[in-house]
């Protein structure tokens, strides 16, 4: 059994999608980050970085429990445990790693900055500074979606097959209405998104926690 500590954000849903794809049994523990649950000492013992998601695999290596935090590390651990979704050859595994890296170090942080400047910029911040912050990260968000689109106009998935790189990117693109960009501007991304949206595991995982 796997304990999933999460909330309804794209980073959390990357892991719930993967758990559904792998068919692993898991129990969901909701961490309300707006109420500060992530700073509770009991949770900090699971994730010292005080972020979501995190997991505890009660049947880890050698049959012993293991905790894993940081989204990319969790996804690589679970994919490794399942023996799926990282590619079956060296080229595909390398492609998976590079696109997972782009999503986790580029795409995801940029989306978070757009969210911050839209929702949480301090009231004391001047309108000029706030507008600059919003536009700076919105431009970078659009640029990075364009990088995905360049790839997805030629290939069905970010790697040669469906991998954790696709699962990592999907929850961010799924929020396209909130982040105010049109999928019609990114034909490759749009077609990829529509294909993935038909997967039953994604339909289940994107709703965790309900």
If you average pLDDT over every residue of the chain, what do you get? Answer: 95
Those residues whose C-beta lies under 8 Å from the C-beta of residue 135, and which sit 6 or more positions away, are none
What confidence score (pLDDT) does residue 124 get? 63
The pLDDT tens digits for 47-90 are 999 999 999 999 999 999 999 999 999 999 999 999 999 999 99
Average pLDDT over residues 20-30: 98
Domains of the chain: 2-82 (3.40.30.10), 90-199 (1.20.1050.10)
Those residues whose C-beta lies under 8 Å from the C-beta of residue 145, and which sit 6 or more positions away, are 107, 173, 181, 186, 189
Average pLDDT over residues 6-25: 97
Cα–Cα distances (Å) from 165 to 96, 101, 117, 171, in that order, read 6, 8, 26, 11
> Does 7 score more than 70 pLDDT?
yes
> Does 168 score more than 80 pLDDT?
yes
> Does 210 score more than 70 pLDDT?
yes
In this structure, are residues 76 and 101 in contact, taking their beta carbons and an 8 Å threshold?
no
pLDDT category of residue 134 using cuts at 50, 70 and 90: confident
d(CA 161, CA 164): 10
Average pLDDT over residues 161-183: 97
């Amino acid at each position: 059994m796997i304990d999933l500590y999460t909330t309804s954000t794209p980073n959390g849903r990357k892991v719930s999608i993967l758990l559904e794809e792998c068919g692993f049994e898991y129990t969901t523990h909701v961490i309300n980050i707006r109420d500060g649950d992530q700073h509770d000492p009991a949770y900090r013992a699971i994730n010292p970085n005080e972020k979501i998601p995190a997991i505890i695999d009660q049947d880890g290596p050698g049959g012993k429990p293991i905790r894993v935090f940081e989204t990319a590390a969790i996804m690589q651990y679970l994919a490794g445990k399942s023996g799926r979704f990282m590619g079956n050859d060296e080229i595909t595994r390398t492609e998976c790693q590079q696109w997972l890296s782009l999503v986790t170090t580029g795409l995801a942080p940029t989306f978070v900055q757009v969210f911050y400047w839209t929702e949480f910029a301090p009231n004391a911040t001047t309108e000029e500074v706030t507008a600059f912050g919003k536009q700076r990260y919105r431009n970078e968000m659009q640029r990075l979606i364009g990088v995905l689109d360049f790839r997805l106009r030629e290939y069905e998935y970010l790697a040669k097959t469906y991998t954790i790189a696709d699962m990592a990117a999907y929850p961010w693109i799924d929020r396209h209405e909130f982040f105010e960009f049109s999928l019609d501007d990114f034909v490759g991304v749009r077609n990829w998104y529509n294909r993935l949206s038909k997967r039953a595991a994604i339909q289940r995982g994107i709703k965790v926690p309900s």
